[in-house]
Structure 1
């Protein structure tokens, strides 16, 4: 490789291209993400130290009374060690990994994507971005269906920073109450925390939010959430039964 070719590759001219091809973009929290990373060599041979997939989303942060979006990494997966890609050569690297249970559901304005990064010495790393459609766990989806059955209407779903999760975020759902609950509280707020064993939903009613997020998100960070219900992995299968449990819980604890 000539000195001029090295310089061109180092500034991203004629270097390798990367294209991650996800086999199924619709995936549940905790579900399997599979696909191939396709690397196409550029004008010169290049050494790639590693191929990494970074699952990311954005969170709303508030500073000095100003709100803005900030990208946040949920998990990082190394799919290949060092390899060499020749000029115009094509290599395919298959991958498979379990999506974090903390990846937010892609509802409202929430988005989840995979950034593919080639670690290339002395060069601009080629990158590729692929979006996922993330559904909640079976329990979380059943709870949301039950909430809708009880007459609640989704107001917003917001990703917020939290100290209570490994990824550093929670997804906060806010609902307007239906007719049966309007006299008891003006707003319902839910946060789901799931793992391989099951899903816990934390609940706040009639909160008076100040700044970003409501009392529930603050309470989680202070370990002071007052109301929650837990479902084992396959326990929440009947929407009417979950709706009955939630109705009873909400009315018994309404302020």
Structure 2
């Protein structure tokens, strides 16, 4: 019977189970991910080589004129060394690690999730996945509110492969806005990319100008209609009003689309 149970456990029947329980599942980039991993032994004793935790997201990449989704591991956290889990034994292991500042926000359909698993030799590894809500950092919220204050509406949020702008990871998260106010006749769209670090936020704004006449159409054809603006904010800017930040952005946009 014991050999039969071991055979079943090797294909996942009567094997150990793992369940990650987050202290909070709504976080900011740079926050600490905390919780406990609950492990329950199966029908037979099993050697657990390690317990691993990944924070995973997806981004889109163009290949052969088709967009494909690729998975990106943002962080890997190893929770334990090798140990033997006895039949029906229960273990609770606390975990704590930092969510990277580059973690994309879970706006639109962008997923971020915690994947937890047991590495068991010669057996199917049991696992558990938990979605994490990633909210905007306060500085990001200020900028997003300021852009809305200027009459732009958020149209799309997605993560795109970009080997030029991607830093720690091969993608950037793009926030695409459409103008509804005074910029409606002057801009096609405004794209925003955030680069968050400890105590600082760098914002890259891409202005896509509307083509006007022959020269405008020529600029558009050669992608010369796009202009870039950079702005840096620090933690001290959290005390600035949305209207103040909007005024700064408005002046920078106006200077670049004349």
Flag whether TM exceeds 0.5 (same fold): yes
Give the 3-state SS of the residue equivalent to 2:8 in structure 1: helix
Structure 2: gaps spanning 5 or more residues: 211-219
Q: Does structure 1 residue 246 correspond to structure 2 residue 246?
A: no
- For the aligned residue pairs, the C-alpha RMSD in angstroms reads 2.1
Q: 1:125-169 deviations in whole A, cap 9, x for unaligned?
A: 111000011012221111111111111111100111233321222
- For residues 59-208 of structure 1, the aligned pairs below 5 Å read 59-163=59-163, 164-206=166-208
Alignment partner of 2:132: what SS?
A: strand
Distance 1:177 1:134 in 2: 26
Structure 1 match to 2:235: 233
CA distance in structure 2 between the aligned counterparts of 1:31 and 1:207, rounded to whole angstroms = 37
Q: Which has the larger radius of gyration?
A: 2
Deviation at residue 113 of structure 1 after TM alignment? 0.4
Give the distance between the partners of 1:98 and 1:41, measured in 2 at CA. 29
Q: TM-score, normalised by structure 2?
A: 0.88
Q: Residue by residue, what CA displacement relative to the aligned partner does 1:209-241 show, whole Å, maximum 9, x if unpaired? A: xxxxxx9xx9xxxxxx84210111342432121
Find the aligned partners of 2:118 and 2:245 in 1 and give their Cα distance: 46
- Assess if the C-alpha contact under 8 Å between 1:236 and 1:242 holds in 2: no
Residue pair 2:29, 2:100 contacting (<8 A) in 1 also: yes
- How far, CA to CA, are the matches of 2:88 and 2:32 in structure 1? 32
Q: Name whichever of 162-171 and 9-18 sits farther off.
A: 162-171
The alpha carbon displacement at 1:197 in A equals: 2.9
SS at match of 2:187: coil
Compared with structure 1, are the counterparts of its residues 198 and 79 closer, same or farther at alpha carbon in structure 2 (3 Å cutoff)?
same
Structure-2 separation of matches of 1:79 and 1:168:
26
SS in 2 for 1:227: strand
Gaps of 5+ in 1: 209-214, 219-224
TM-score normalised by L of structure 1: 0.89
